[in-house]
Amino acid sequence: MEIRYKNYKYEKQNINFCLNENTIYGITGTKYKEFLSIFNIINKYTNVTINKNKLNNKNIFFYQNKITNIKKINELDIKVEDYLEKIIIDYDLQIKNINKKIEDSLTIVGINKDKKELYIKDLSTSERNLLRVSVSLLFNPEIIILEEPYFSLDIKNIKRLNILFNRLTDQYNKTIILGSSDSNELYKYTKKMIFISNNNIVKIGDTKEVYKNVKFLKDNAFDIPESVMFTYNANNKKNIKLDYLQDIRDTIKDIYKHI
Amino acid sequence: MINNYIELNKINYKDILNNFSISFAKNKFYTLTGANSCGKSTLLRLISNEIELIDDINLNDKLLSDYDKIDYKKKVTLLDERNIDFIEETISNEIKLILLKNNNYSKEYLKSTLLKYNLYDNRNKKINNLSLEEKIYLMFIKKILSNYEVILIDDIDNYCSETIMNRIINLINLNKNNKLFIMTIKNINYSLESDKLIVINKKGIVLEGNPKDVLNKDNILNKNGIELPFMYDLSIKLRDYNLIDEIILDTDRMIDELWK
């Protein structure tokens, strides 16, 4: 599925906004905690009409059977398996083997399938966050939107989630949109970035390339990844040419070459 | 000799904590971290008695179960994003209420308190219109003003900006006399101003000590799901390659040291 908007004018720029499949996008706003209403953006800039279909759960948005945005799952007094089964039934997801689907959707995000018998309120914060992704996958959407996807996750779970995201995009042609205020995470884990200011798109591009443009980021008060800032300062201060790298081990090797 | 104010001895709770022992002393600020689902939040909820466990938790040498519940709640409190509630409509009135309860209200003292805690400019702001991090900060100030002996803080670095977190940590260090603060953290940077960093798993303590010493054990931290902050990680690796002699957290200083 492709969401496309052509020739949007922002100041003197023409911006073509197009979300392609097979890609992990990051979306971020200014560092002054501007609320990211990703759906407002998609509504404003695309020709896909989005009608919010709020059934029983105001935290689940499922649009035109193609896009999911699962917000925070609170400490609910319902068992995990019952919650997931209710979603399958309420949204008429046409799943033959519900029990297997529930177990698979938990296992794939790293939640032990035995935890399906626990109450959601007894899950840890990180498990409830991972459960969001499980719920998303029940819908088999073409586009998955997650706001603050790495919220409360440790590095092992972040890596596991990223392996999953890459598999979903590479093997299953899904589009993943991650909204976050953490530039370090977006820099490391996304392929393309969308920058928003006052609910307007001000920049779209390859993650590595757009984050090199430190002046743009500073001028627009966007958060800058620590590794980018280090490279930028080193290059400017010492007139060297370190590369902008996403993995710290590559940064170390690059520093070694330039000493 | 440090007297332990809180002691947990080989406690078991569901399959979350197994034979788990830990202790905390007063006049200290502890930061607590560990892999996901290792029991950090559960530990704080046990200490605060939000989850009841009959045996083997001692506060000031007395079993938790021997305390009157109301008295215990006056001594020990838990701050997390779930336990946020206010009575009054505005920030000023909320703080005024605390001062009245403490029998030390006056207009001048209210003003000085609001100024002291960076609340004066927004004093008439309606609490309903505050962001989550502003509400967390206000709850924290309420807890400081309410004279608790033990203040437990869970998971707020997920919700609060660096500015607010640094403000909170600064206030903890200014107010820890005769108190005990325990804060769970995801971002290890916030441990650097604490007295002790403790890394736990389900079975107990994996590492503990001065935060800078604990952060040197990057292999163990990584195995326990903890990511070092960029400058710390860079420093340790550059030091291992003999490119720098010590841990440097300031970017400019690091650059000057590398390219002398």
d(CA B179, CA A48): 57
Return the residue in B37, B41, B200 with the most chain A beta carbons within 10 A, the one to mutate for interface testing: B37
pLDDT at A54 (0 to 100): 41
Which tens digits make up the pLDDT trace of B2-22?
Answer: 578 999 999 998 888 988 999
The two structure tokens encoding residue A110: 């790293």
Is A91 an 8 Å CB contact of chain B? no
d(CA A70, CA A4): 23
Which tens digits make up the pLDDT trace of A59-79?
Answer: 666 666 677 888 788 889 999
pLDDT at B56 (0 to 100): 78
Shortest CB distance from B36 goes to which of A126, A248, A251? A126
CATH architecture for the domain at B4-86+148-225: 3-Layer(aba) Sandwich (3.40)
pLDDT at B178 (0 to 100): 93
Instruction: Kindly give the pairing relationship between strand B150-153 and strand B180-184.
Output: parallel
Task: Decide if A251 and B35 are in contact by the 8 Å CB cutoff.
Answer: no
d(CA B30, CA B184): 8
Chain A residues inside the 8 Å CB shell of B250: none
Q: Which residue has the tokens 């007063």?
A: B26
Cβ neighbors of A81 (< 8 A, separation 6 or more) are A99, A102, A116, A117
Is A36 an 8 Å CB contact of chain B? no
Residues of chain B predicted below pLDDT 70:
1-2, 54-55
Q: Which amino acid is at B5?
A: Y
**Alpha carbon of A63: minimum distance to chain B alpha carbons (Å):** 28
Chain B residues inside the 8 Å CB shell of A154: 35-36, 186, 225-227
Taken as a whole, chain A contains a residue count of 259
B 101-160 residues inside an 8 A Cβ radius of A? 131, 133, 155, 158
Cα nearest neighbour of A151 on chain B = B158
The two structure tokens encoding residue A118: 């626990």
d(CA B79, CA B155): 9
Is residue B127 a contact partner of residue B135, using CB atoms and an 8 Å limit? Answer: yes
Task: Please state the domain extents for chain A.
Answer: 3-224
Shortest CB distance from B35 goes to which of A151, A154, A255? A154
d(CA A100, CA B107): 64
SS3 B200: strand
pLDDT at A164 (0 to 100): 94
d(CA A115, CA A111): 7
pLDDT at A55 (0 to 100): 39
Burial of B252 from C-beta contacts in 10 A (0-12 / 13-18 / 19+): exposed
pLDDT at A56 (0 to 100): 41
Task: Please state the domain extents for chain B.
Answer: 4-86+148-225, 229-260
Q: What is the DSSP letter of B214?
A: H
Closest CA to B55 of B10, B18, B23, B24: B10
Return the residue in B230, B232, B260 with the most chain A beta carbons within 10 A, the one to mutate for interface testing: B230
Shortest CB distance from B37 goes to which of A124, A226, A237? A124
Helices A155-170/A125-138 angle, 10° precision: 10
**Alpha carbon of A220: minimum distance to chain B alpha carbons (Å):** 18
pLDDT at B175 (0 to 100): 95
Which tens digits make up the pLDDT trace of A80-102?
Answer: 999 999 999 988 888 999 999 99
Task: Decide if B234 and A248 are in contact by the 8 Å CB cutoff.
Answer: yes
Closest CA to A151 of B136, B36, B190, B199: B36
Give the CATH number of domain A3-224: 3.40.50.300
In A46-124, alpha helices (H): 80-90, 98-107
pLDDT at A59 (0 to 100): 62
Cα diameter, chain A: 63
pLDDT at A53 (0 to 100): 45
Chain B residues inside the 8 Å CB shell of A152: 36, 155, 158, 186
Return the residue in A156, A183, A254 with the most chain B beta carbons within 10 A, the one to mutate for interface testing: A156
Single pTM value for the model: 0.87
Closest CA to B54 of B68, B42, B64, B45: B64
Complex ipTM value = 0.83
Cα diameter, chain B: 63
In B206-246, alpha helices (H): 211-215, 218-223, 230-240
Closest CA to A258 of A232, A239, A233, A230: A239
**Alpha carbon of A245: minimum distance to chain B alpha carbons (Å):** 13
Closest CA to B205 of B15, B24, B2, B13: B24
The two structure tokens encoding residue B27: 């006049």
Cα nearest neighbour of B157 on chain A = A152
Which tens digits make up the pLDDT trace of B40-75?
Answer: 999 999 999 999 886 678 999 888 888 999 999 999
Chain B residues inside the 8 Å CB shell of A251: 234
* Structural Rg of chain B based on CA atoms: 20
Q: What is the DSSP letter of B229?
A: P
Residues of chain A predicted below pLDDT 50:
32-35, 47-56
